[in-house]
């Protein structure tokens, strides 16, 4: 219990700083502008799939932060009822000021959601479950997501995994660059443990089976960007950690995803 309280305080403190620093900006929780842009593009691609666009009547975003992504979706899908939930009171205060007609916001904990069973057609997260700082809590979060999803509903997850992160640091080390540490407020998923845990409840779905999928929905959608921005770019700039969102990185941001060099990955899970 002491560990859980300590972890919760770490998260609340971190996102209080984010709220004060970025306010309602899209840079909140992610200062790399290209990552943020590509994440949102992937979420929109998911919502525009033939099979998901037909059922998105009630949608829950867990970890909605300052409400930036949810506002973009709610504006584009006015017939959908959105619910945004976040653990941070500071970020939620900013989200509430957006006054989105077809959305509401509430404070809550993904480990113990207050929604009824099978309340939502779609749930999505954008770097949220990695803020649960032990595997047991992450399992609780995944179970709760499955509980509140309708049978056949979809969970679109944009979360971080150790395999892409390890490959990224291996590439950096080969070129004489130091490994990038995991942020103090994150715990990345182990891919094997994750797949074993979700198998009884979820099926991992190939986007192409859901209609009109494109490259933005590849699970490794950020791999080329990470290799450019975290390997090639720091090599040329002698590893200057303060250089972000440069024209060099933007120039190569059009590259299609290749390899497995991104910790942040996207998966479509369908409840069995």
Residue 15 lies in a domain: yes
CATH number at residue 208: 3.40.50.150
Residue 70 lies in a domain: yes
Residue 233 lies in a domain: no
Residue 240 lies in a domain: no
Residue 230 lies in a domain: no
Using CA atoms, how far apart are residues 212 and 191, in angstroms rounded to an integer? 27
Domain that holds residue 139: 2-161+186-223+264-271
Distance set, CA 130 to CA 43, 74, 177, 200 (Å) = 18, 25, 25, 21
Residue 251 lies in a domain: no
3-state secondary structure of 240: coil
Using CA atoms, how far apart are residues 138 and 110, in angstroms rounded to an integer? 9
Buried b (16+ CB within 10 A) or exposed e, 91-110: bbebbbebebeebebeebbb
How many domains does one find in the chain? 1
Residue 148 lies in a domain: yes
The tens place of each residue's pLDDT in the chain, 272 residues long, gives 344 457 889 888 989 999 899 899 988 989 999 999 999 999 999 999 988 888 889 999 999 999 999 999 999 999 999 999 999 999 999 999 999 999 999 999 999 999 999 999 999 999 999 999 999 999 999 999 999 999 999 999 999 999 999 999 999 999 999 999 999 999 999 999 999 999 999 999 999 889 865 556 899 999 999 999 999 999 998 877 667 889 999 999 999 999 999 999 999 999 99
Residue 252 lies in a domain: no
């Amino acid at each position: 219990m002491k560990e859980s309280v300590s972890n919760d305080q770490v998260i609340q403190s971190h996102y209080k700083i984010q709220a004060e620093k970025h306010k309602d900006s899209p840079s909140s929780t992610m200062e790399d502008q290209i990552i943020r842009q590509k994440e949102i593009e992937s979420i929109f691609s998911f919502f525009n799939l033939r099979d998901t666009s037909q059922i998105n009547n009630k949608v829950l975003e867990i970890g909605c932060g300052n409400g930036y992504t949810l506002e973009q979706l709610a504006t584009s899908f006015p017939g959908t009822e959105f619910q945004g939930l976040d653990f941070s009171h500071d970020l939620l205060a900013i989200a509430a000021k957006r006054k989105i007609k077809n959305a509401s916001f509430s404070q809550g904990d993904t480990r113990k959601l207050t929604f009824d069973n099978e309340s939502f057609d779609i749930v999505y997260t954008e770097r949220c479950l990695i803020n649960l700082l032990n595997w047991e809590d992450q399992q609780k979060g995944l179970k709760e997501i499955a509980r509140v999803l309708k049978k056949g509903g979809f969970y679109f997850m944009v979360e971080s995994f150790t395999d892409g992160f390890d490959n990224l640091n291996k590439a950096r080390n080969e070129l004489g660059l130091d490994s990038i540490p995991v942020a103090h407020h994150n715990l990345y998923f182990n891919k094997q443990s994750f797949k074993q845990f979700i198998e009884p409840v979820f099926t991992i779905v190939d986007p192409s089976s859901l209609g009109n999928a494109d490259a933005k929905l590849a699970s490794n959608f950020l791999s080329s960007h990470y290799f450019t921005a975290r390997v090639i770019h720091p090599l040329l700039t002698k590893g200057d950690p303060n250089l972000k969102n440069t024209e060099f990185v933007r120039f190569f941001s059009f590259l299609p995803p290749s390899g497995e060099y991104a910790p942040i990955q996207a998966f479509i899970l369908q409840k069995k």
